[in-house]
Amino acid sequence: MTRRETAAALERVRAICHALPEVEERLSHGSPSFFVGGKRTLCMFHDHHHDDGRVAIWCPAPDGVQAALVAEEPGRFFRPPYVGHRGWLGVRLDVDPDWDEVAGIVEDAYRSVAPKRLVTQLDER
Protein backbone atom coordinates (compact mmCIF):
# COMPACT_ATOMS: atom_id res chain seq x y z
CA MET A 1 0.00 0.00 0.00
CA THR A 2 1.12 3.53 -0.63
CA ARG A 3 1.34 5.98 2.26
CA ARG A 4 -1.83 7.64 0.99
CA GLU A 5 -3.69 4.31 0.90
CA THR A 6 -2.45 3.45 4.39
CA ALA A 7 -3.59 6.85 5.70
CA ALA A 8 -6.99 6.33 4.04
CA ALA A 9 -7.29 2.88 5.65
CA LEU A 10 -6.51 4.38 9.06
CA GLU A 11 -9.19 7.03 8.52
CA ARG A 12 -11.73 4.29 7.69
CA VAL A 13 -10.78 2.41 10.85
CA ARG A 14 -11.07 5.63 12.87
CA ALA A 15 -14.55 6.28 11.50
CA ILE A 16 -15.66 2.73 12.32
CA CYS A 17 -14.28 2.85 15.86
CA HIS A 18 -15.40 6.37 16.73
CA ALA A 19 -18.96 5.52 15.63
CA LEU A 20 -19.17 3.28 18.71
CA PRO A 21 -20.05 4.67 22.17
CA GLU A 22 -17.21 6.00 24.34
CA VAL A 23 -14.33 4.98 22.10
CA GLU A 24 -11.09 6.90 22.52
CA GLU A 25 -7.93 6.83 20.43
CA ARG A 26 -4.35 7.03 21.62
CA LEU A 27 -0.98 5.57 20.71
CA SER A 28 -0.14 2.25 22.27
CA HIS A 29 3.24 0.68 21.56
CA GLY A 30 3.66 3.28 18.81
CA SER A 31 0.47 2.37 16.94
CA PRO A 32 -2.90 4.11 16.76
CA SER A 33 -5.15 2.16 19.11
CA PHE A 34 -8.76 2.45 20.16
CA PHE A 35 -10.10 1.91 23.66
CA VAL A 36 -13.56 1.57 25.17
CA GLY A 37 -14.12 3.75 28.20
CA GLY A 38 -10.44 4.61 28.26
CA LYS A 39 -9.44 1.15 29.44
CA ARG A 40 -10.30 -1.91 27.36
CA THR A 41 -8.51 -2.29 24.03
CA LEU A 42 -10.90 -2.43 21.10
CA CYS A 43 -8.62 -2.31 18.09
CA MET A 44 -5.00 -1.65 17.15
CA PHE A 45 -3.91 -0.36 13.73
CA HIS A 46 -0.56 -1.66 12.53
CA ASP A 47 1.44 -0.44 9.54
CA HIS A 48 4.12 -3.07 8.82
CA HIS A 49 4.45 -4.17 12.46
CA HIS A 50 8.08 -5.23 12.89
CA ASP A 51 8.38 -5.18 9.08
CA ASP A 52 5.80 -7.95 8.62
CA GLY A 53 4.69 -6.37 5.33
CA ARG A 54 1.06 -5.99 6.40
CA VAL A 55 -1.27 -3.09 7.05
CA ALA A 56 -3.79 -4.55 9.45
CA ILE A 57 -5.93 -4.22 12.53
CA TRP A 58 -5.81 -6.51 15.52
CA CYS A 59 -8.89 -6.88 17.68
CA PRO A 60 -10.43 -9.30 20.15
CA ALA A 61 -12.78 -11.83 18.57
CA PRO A 62 -15.50 -14.07 19.94
CA ASP A 63 -14.50 -17.64 20.81
CA GLY A 64 -13.65 -19.69 17.74
CA VAL A 65 -13.80 -16.82 15.25
CA GLN A 66 -10.05 -16.39 14.91
CA ALA A 67 -9.46 -20.07 14.11
CA ALA A 68 -12.37 -20.24 11.68
CA LEU A 69 -11.46 -17.11 9.70
CA VAL A 70 -7.73 -17.87 9.59
CA ALA A 71 -8.49 -21.39 8.32
CA GLU A 72 -11.02 -20.10 5.79
CA GLU A 73 -9.03 -17.14 4.41
CA PRO A 74 -5.40 -17.12 5.58
CA GLY A 75 -4.52 -14.43 3.05
CA ARG A 76 -6.88 -11.96 4.74
CA PHE A 77 -6.91 -13.06 8.37
CA PHE A 78 -4.10 -14.08 10.72
CA ARG A 79 -3.23 -14.79 14.33
CA PRO A 80 -1.44 -11.65 15.53
CA PRO A 81 1.67 -11.86 17.69
CA TYR A 82 1.45 -11.13 21.43
CA VAL A 83 -2.38 -11.29 21.58
CA GLY A 84 -3.26 -14.07 19.15
CA HIS A 85 -3.06 -16.70 21.88
CA ARG A 86 -5.98 -14.89 23.56
CA GLY A 87 -8.16 -15.25 20.46
CA TRP A 88 -7.47 -11.88 18.89
CA LEU A 89 -7.90 -11.63 15.14
CA GLY A 90 -5.60 -9.92 12.66
CA VAL A 91 -7.41 -8.44 9.65
CA ARG A 92 -5.37 -7.37 6.64
CA LEU A 93 -6.36 -4.02 5.19
CA ASP A 94 -3.85 -4.17 2.34
CA VAL A 95 -5.68 -7.04 0.60
CA ASP A 96 -8.83 -5.40 -0.81
CA PRO A 97 -10.76 -5.19 2.48
CA ASP A 98 -14.52 -5.55 2.67
CA TRP A 99 -15.18 -2.50 4.86
CA ASP A 100 -18.63 -3.71 5.91
CA GLU A 101 -16.99 -6.91 7.13
CA VAL A 102 -14.27 -4.92 8.91
CA ALA A 103 -16.97 -2.83 10.62
CA GLY A 104 -18.74 -6.02 11.70
CA ILE A 105 -15.53 -7.47 13.12
CA VAL A 106 -14.86 -4.26 15.06
CA GLU A 107 -18.44 -4.21 16.37
CA ASP A 108 -18.08 -7.83 17.52
CA ALA A 109 -14.85 -6.84 19.28
CA TYR A 110 -16.65 -3.93 20.91
CA ARG A 111 -19.41 -6.19 22.18
CA SER A 112 -16.79 -8.48 23.71
CA VAL A 113 -14.92 -5.76 25.63
CA ALA A 114 -17.44 -2.98 26.33
CA PRO A 115 -19.40 -2.79 29.58
CA LYS A 116 -23.00 -3.96 29.32
CA ARG A 117 -24.35 -0.41 29.60
CA LEU A 118 -22.42 0.59 26.47
CA VAL A 119 -23.54 -2.50 24.55
CA THR A 120 -27.12 -1.59 25.52
CA GLN A 121 -26.49 1.96 24.32
CA LEU A 122 -25.21 0.60 21.01
CA ASP A 123 -28.26 -1.65 20.63
CA GLU A 124 -30.62 1.27 21.27
CA ARG A 125 -29.26 3.27 18.34
Yes or no: say if 47 and 54 are a contact pair by the CB < 8 Å rule: no
Domain interval for residue 64: 3-118
* pLDDT for 115: 96
* pLDDT for 104: 98
124 falls within a domain: no
123 falls within a domain: no
Beta bridge partners of 46: 56
The CATH number assigned to the domain holding 90 equals: 3.90.1150.30
Q: What pTM, to 2 d.p., does this model score? A: 0.93
125 falls within a domain: no
Burial label, 121 (beta-carbon count in 10 A; 0-12, 13-18, 19+): middle
* pLDDT for 125: 84
* pLDDT for 38: 84
Q: Which residue type, as a one-letter code, is found at position 9?
A: A
Mean pLDDT, consecutive 10-residue stretches, the chain (125 aa), reads: 93 98 95 94 89 90 96 96 92 95 98 96 92
**What's the number of domains the chain is made of?**
1
Measuring CA to CA, which residue among 8, 24, 21, 104 is closest to residue 61?
104
